[in-house]
Amino acid sequence: MVKICCLGAGYVGGPTMAVIAYKCPEIEVVVVDISTARIDAWNSDRLPIYEPGLDDVVEGCRGRNLFFSTDIEKHVADSDIIFVSVNTPTKTRGLGAGKAADLTYWESAARMIADVSKSDKIVVEKSTVPVKTAEAIEKILTHNSKGVNFQILSNPEFLAEGTAIADLFSPDRVLIGGRETVEGRKAVETLKSVYANWVPEDRIITTNLWSAELSKLAANAFLAQRISSVNAMSALCEATGANISEVAYAVGKDSRIGSKFLNASVGFGGSCFQKDILNLIYICECNGLTEVSDYWKQVIKINDYQKSRFVNRIVSSMFNTVSGKKIAVLGFAFKKDTGDTRETPAIDVCKGLIGDRAQINIYDPQVTEDQIQRDLAMNKFDWDHPLHLQPMSPTAVKQVRVCWDVYEATKDAHGVCILTEWDEFKKLDFQKIYNNMQKPAFVFDGRNVVDAEKLRKIGFIVYMIGKPLDAWLKDIPAVV
Ligand SMILES: NC(=O)C1=CN([C@@H]2O[C@H](COP(=O)(O)OP(=O)(O)OC[C@H]3O[C@@H](n4cnc5c(N)ncnc54)[C@H](O)[C@@H]3O)[C@@H](O)[C@H]2O)C=CC1
Ligand SMILES: O=C(O)[C@H]1O[C@H](OP(=O)(O)OP(=O)(O)OC[C@H]2O[C@@H](n3ccc(=O)[nH]c3=O)[C@H](O)[C@@H]2O)[C@H](O)[C@@H](O)[C@@H]1O
């Protein structure tokens, strides 16, 4: 029986390994982590992450051929294939701070693998890493190997949160990069045979190591670039009376462009887009490619612009100040169907409003009060380290109240801000919300989910991203 061990029981390691175990009953899969709390949660009825469909998959194979453990060294020593799916945060100090990937967790994982291995292993990069990382990892492994042979593969993950199980069951492609040697090709074939249990062969792409590593950074950069492109157009729509939904639809109908991933928003969030583009920018700079790094920098600049533009719209519409005003924030997660708040645009929007001394009531169906308070108090990039290594209980932000009901959050509010596109926000009783709000009552929809005409009939002043502006907003400059 082939045995797989995965280091890192996070958003990628957990679901990915659960699906491998589910689809390959003859393979034993053990997911290990340095965080005892995370492993305990994976072994409980309340999994550590919210992901539609995940509970059923875990239930289908946990205890059969899927195990979660903190006994890292034992399971690494016993395995044939070791996936490494640990954090690769943005460095906050030293060389490349603010851009380069911090490979501390990866390096310590590689040293441990070399230390405890007594039989040959295939080591798989599952984390997103800078191109050429495999070379460094290979050196660490071989210089400490005690005669054991290691083959390193790059197998980046393309799942998106909220749709992880569907993405893993039916991926657009699986990408495997390896050394172009006899042993390298054999290792690629071994990993390919795991995925071939459920992924059609023509969707399994094999490349050299560097192409696989770079393709992951490139894919995330292209995806984020689409959002910044449509968001840049949304600002122009507001200035001209064009409608971003109509523009995106017309543009996306061109089959060379395609209709997906063209939803204008308050900005992209999530743990990877910004981190991976910063990483790409740093690699370009290190290779002397200034024009290329400048090009990708702009994707992040537009994203930051979109978030501050949104805050400016709120403040300028509400008589140029939100000081002491109550704003209801609906949605805090970085997208619907996840409880993940890493790099969520809600953090920047809330911080902007708090900076102007607003009182904020936040409601999100999946995010806890503790998480929201931590996010609003934490320094940039601290969120991307293992939970038990993050700064302890920061002081709660007093201007923030977390509510468990939309109607409670919006009661007596001057404005409502929608920051995540949760389906339930499309079905709210806006008449009831309006009746209980201060007047004039504002809705700022950062995800274009509400029916603006219906809300205007009720009496709301409505701002939507990239849509023709209400008369109220037209006369107010977009930037305070
Ligand atoms: N979140 C996502 O949707 C995607 C993330 N990725 C990449 O996958 C990697 C992991 O991301 P997430 O799963 O989101 O992070 P995460 O923070 O949810 O999980 C990482 C886990 O690794 C553990 N860990 C750290 N060092 C360890 C070690 N030496 N041994 C054992 N466990 C260790 C941490 O305790 C943590 O539980 C990152 O490189 C990320 O860029 C790639 C595709 C999608
Ligand atoms: O490397 C990663 O971590 C992953 O990053 C993204 O997945 P994820 O961040 O989970 O979610 P997305 O659906 O890509 O959304 C990212 C952000 O962009 C925003 N978005 C997305 C699409 C769109 O049209 N408009 C828009 O504003 C979302 O609301 C969200 O804030 C990629 O889609 C995955 O392929 C990749 O594996």
Query: Does residue 35 have a pLDDT over 70?
Result: yes
**Which of the listed residues 86, 106, 217 should we mutate to test ligand 1's pocket, taking the one with most ligand atoms within 8 A of CB?**
86
- Other Cβ atoms within 10 Å of 236 Cβ, number: 12
Closest approach atom of ligand 1 to CA 388: 35
- Other Cβ atoms within 10 Å of 5 Cβ, number: 26
- Cα(330) to centroid(ligand 1), Å: 28
* Statement to judge: residues 86 and 227 lie in one domain: no
Q: How confident is the model at residue 392 (pLDDT cuts 50, 70, 90)?
A: low
* Statement to judge: residues 231 and 294 lie in one domain: yes
Residue 120 lies in a domain: yes
Query: Does residue 24 have a pLDDT over 70?
Result: yes
Strands 3-7 and 28-32, bridge-based pairing: parallel
Average pLDDT of 176-196? 98
Amino acid at 378: M
**How many domains does the chain divide into?**
2
- Cα(157) to centroid(ligand 1), Å: 11
Give the tens place of pLDDT for each residue, 330-351.
999 999 999 999 999 999 999 9
Average pLDDT of 92-108? 94
Residue 204 lies in a domain: no
Q: Is the CB of 85 under 6 A from ligand 1?
A: yes
Predicted pLDDT of residue 388: 75
Closest approach atom of ligand 2 to CA 164: 10
**Options 272, 284, 350, 417, the catalytic residue:** 272
Q: Is the CB of 343 under 6 A from ligand 2?
A: no
Is residue 440 reached through a cis peptide bond, with omega within 30 degrees of 0 on the bond before it? yes
* Statement to judge: residues 245 and 160 lie in one domain: no
**Which of the listed residues 12, 157, 274 should we mutate to test ligand 1's pocket, taking the one with most ligand atoms within 8 A of CB?**
12
Predicted pLDDT of residue 477: 65
End-to-end CA distance of the chain: 65
Q: How confident is the model at residue 480 (pLDDT cuts 50, 70, 90)?
A: very low
Give the tens place of pLDDT for each residue, 418-439.
999 999 999 999 999 999 999 9
Which region among 231-240, 253-262, 380-389 has the lowest average model confidence (pLDDT)? 380-389
Which CATH number fits the domain that encloses residue 86? 3.40.50.720
Predicted pLDDT of residue 38: 97
Residue 471 lies in a domain: no
CB-based contacts of 452, cutoff 8 Å, min separation 6: 445, 462, 464, 467
Residue 473 lies in a domain: no
CA neighbor of 33 nearest in space, from 25, 23, 43: 43
Give the tens place of pLDDT for each residue, 197-222.
999 999 999 999 999 999 999 999 99
Nearest CA residue ID for atom 25, ligand 2: 263
Enumerate the H helices of 62-163 as residue ranges.
72-78, 104-116, 133-143
- Cα(286) to centroid(ligand 2), Å: 27
Query: Does residue 443 have a pLDDT over 50?
Result: yes
Closest approach atom of ligand 1 to CA 38: 37
* Statement to judge: residues 454 and 331 lie in one domain: yes
Predicted pLDDT of residue 104: 94
| Residues facing residue 444 across a β-bridge | 417, 463
* Statement to judge: residues 42 and 77 lie in one domain: yes
* Statement to judge: residues 435 and 287 lie in one domain: yes
Q: Is the CB of 213 under 6 A from ligand 1?
A: no
Closest approach atom of ligand 1 to CA 128: 39
Please indicate whether residue 272 is annotated as part of the active site.
yes
Residue 91 lies in a domain: yes
| 88 labeled binding residue | yes
* Statement to judge: residues 58 and 26 lie in one domain: yes
Task: Report the C-alpha gap between 17 and 31 in whole angstroms.
Answer: 7
Q: Which ligand does the CA of 302 lie closest to?
A: 2
* Statement to judge: residues 345 and 413 lie in one domain: yes
Residue 198: exposure state from Cβ atoms within 10 A (0-12, 13-18, ≥19) = middle
Give the tens place of pLDDT for each residue, 254-310.
999 999 999 999 999 999 999 999 999 999 999 999 999 999 999 999 999 999 999
Query: Does residue 2 have a pLDDT over 70?
Result: yes
- Cα(248) to centroid(ligand 1), Å: 34
Query: Does residue 64 have a pLDDT over 90?
Result: yes
Nearest CA residue ID for atom 13, ligand 2: 160
Token pair of 462, please?
């409505």
Domain residues for the domain of 228 are: 221-464
Predicted pLDDT of residue 146: 82
The gap from C-alpha 428 to its chain's centroid, in whole angstroms, comes to 27
3-class secondary structure for 193-260? HHHCCCCCHHHEEEEEHHHHHHHHHHHHHHHHHHHHHHHHHHHHHHHHCCCHHHHHHHHHCCCCCCCC
Query: Does residue 396 have a pLDDT over 80?
Result: no
Token pair of 190, please?
């071994």
Task: Report the C-alpha gap between 128 and 272 in whole angstroms.
Answer: 9
Q: Is the CB of 89 under 6 A from ligand 1?
A: no
- Cα(167) to centroid(ligand 2), Å: 13
Q: Which ligand does the CA of 345 lie closest to?
A: 2
| 226 labeled binding residue | no
